[in-house]
Amino acid sequence: MTLKKQLLAGFITGAVLITGGLISVHAAPQNDGDQSNRIPRHSRMNKDFNRDEIAKKIAARYGVNEAEIQIAFDNHVHPHDIDRAALLAKISGKSFSEVLAMKSDWRDVESKLGITYDQIRDAEMQMFVADLAEDTGVSEKTIKSLLDEGYDPHDIEIAGYLAKESNKDIKKVLGMRKINNHWSDVADELGVKAPERPDDDDDSDDQD
């Protein structure tokens, strides 16, 4: 799924995260304390999924062994589990294969590894900031500053995209979002073409 198609979901739901290609829609880290659904149930793989490319991205993103990721794909491990094992390996310092072999319920694995919700949220937020900076051209320092000021991560993401498309300052774009309008209204005001609606069959594989 393209960045524009990912952001269409954000215009509608306000809940997207650019993930570098593995999962088409991914919620940003939340403060709600809910550890049971950090990877949303509506997330799905891109249709343009390229195993070798994704293995490289995961290895680089989490600092894990690419060959071990390839083996997991060979064994038909679900990409969600590969991503989760890589994240927990990054936080715990254990190898990817070692963590993946522990899988039962991921919350049980986190408990066995002594990994806290805050550690996971901090790691996810760091990657969120890095991904968003790469995709929008907004500096990590600016994004962190906006988060510290209390701006919602989803709003920062969409505003970053609109700022890039319109060549405006992200803070100015954020200020255009009012209680009585929507991000699609801001896009129209900036003269930015709204993302195209995803194909109907893109939505069909959302069923769980």
Provide the residue-wise pLDDT of the chain in tens; the chain has 208 residues.
Answer: 444 444 444 443 333 333 333 433 334 555 444 443 333 333 344 455 678 888 998 999 899 999 999 999 999 999 889 999 999 999 999 999 999 999 889 999 999 999 999 999 999 888 889 888 888 888 999 999 999 999 988 889 889 889 999 999 999 999 999 989 888 899 999 998 765 544 434 444 444 4
Q: Tokens representing 186?
A: 């801001």
* C-alpha separations of 170 from 5, 21, 33, 156, 167 in Å: 20, 24, 29, 8, 9
How many secondary structure helices (H) and strands (E) does the chain include? 12, 0
* C-alpha separations of 101 from 106, 108, 168 in Å: 11, 13, 47
Q: Hey, where are the domains in the chain?
A: 1-27+36-47+128-208, 50-115
pTM confidence score: 0.61
pLDDT given at position 111 = 94
pLDDT given at position 48 = 54
**What residue type is 42 in one-letter code?**
H
